[in-house]
Structure 1
Amino acid sequence: MLIASLLPLLERYSLGFDLVAGPDETVTLTVIPRNAEGKTHSLETGETRPISLTATASEIDDELARGAGGALGQLITTRKTLADQIAQQREATEAARAASAEAAKAKSAAAPSKQPSPATPAPNALPAEATSDEPASLW
């Protein structure tokens, strides 16, 4: 039951497990998602957050037996959906960056270079009749 319940996570991640016996015959099962071998994308913080279940062994078995309809199955489905959304958002962002870079490259190539004309004086230049030893007149 455990492995069948975790198959959706195994498609995307490598998983680590931790089992700890607690008081009153409780058990804590912790599933730790890791980057799968051969996967090139880096995982988001939310994707690598461990999933912990604390209950009696029979309660955990019952919850895992529910499969996709149980709490663990729903959590796995939600995480998978969110991970897919993150991947789609990354792809869209990269596509937008590439399109923006291409547009900027095309715009700079198409724009004529603006050379100041010799008849137009520089914005802060002195009038032609002013000499360097006398202040420029406003009239």
Structure 2
Amino acid sequence: MLITSLLPLLARYSLGFDLVAGADGVVTLTVIPRKAESAKAALEPAEARPISITGTAAEIDEQLALGAEGALGQIFAARRDLADQLAEQRKAAEDAKAQAASKAKPAAKTAPTPTAPAKAPAPVAAPADEPLSLY
């Protein structure tokens, strides 16, 4: 039953388990996700972090039996969604960067040629028979 409920996760992940018994029948199950050999994309660091579930053996069995609808399946689904969003954002940022670089290249090739500074207009000389006035 455990393996059958985890089959959907095994398409993307190779799973390692650590099981520790505590006091009063409490058990901690730690699931360590790794990239499955058949998976094409590498796992994001947050997606590959171990997941610990603590409860009684019956509670953990119940959650694992729910498969993708259980706690473990929901955690994996949320992490996968976040990893997909991060991958999309990275691709959009790379595309925008490449587009900006391609727009900058033609502008750099056709840099404007320096022009001579504009000459100030020549002062108009007053007629010789008129006195200069400020008014």
Change in 2 beyond 3 A, CA 1:98/1:9: farther
Q: Cα–Cα, structure 1 residues 5 and 91, in superposed 2: closer, same or farther, change >3 Å?
A: farther
Q: What pairs up with 1:42-61 in 2 under 5 angstroms? A: 43-44=44-45, 46-61=46-61
Tell me which structure has the larger Cα radius of gyration. 2
Correspondence 1:107 to 2:107: yes
Pairwise CA distance, 1:33: 2.1
Give matches, 1:1-40, under 5 Å. 1-37=1-37
In structure 2, give the amino acid aligned to 1:98: A
* Distance apart, 1:19 and its partner CA: 0.9
In structure 2, relative to structure 1, the CA distance for the partners of 1:92 and 1:41 (3 Å cut) is farther
Contact 2:14–2:33 (8 Å) recurs in 1: yes
Gaps of 5+ in 1: 122-139
Identity score, percent: 57
For residue 124 of structure 2, what is the aligned residue in structure 1?
none
Deviations 1:68-109 (A, max 9, x none): 222222222111111111111121111111111111112222
SS in 2 for 1:48: coil
2-structure distance, mates of 1:42, 1:75:
15
What amino acid does structure 2 have at the position aligned with 1:26? V
* Alignment correspondent of 1:80: 80
Q: Which TM-score applies when normalising by structure 2?
A: 0.70
Letter of the structure 1 residue corresponding to residue 80 of structure 2 = K
Could you tell me which amino acid in structure 2 is paired with residue 3 of structure 1? I
C-alpha distance in 2 between matches for 1:4 and 1:28: 21
Whether the 8 Å CA contact 1:8–1:77 is kept in 2: the answer is no
Cα offset, 1:40, TM superposition: 6.1
* Aligned residue-pair number: 117
Aligned alpha-carbon RMSD (Å):
2.5
TM-score (norm 1): 0.68
Distance in 1 separating the partners of 2:5 and 2:24: 26
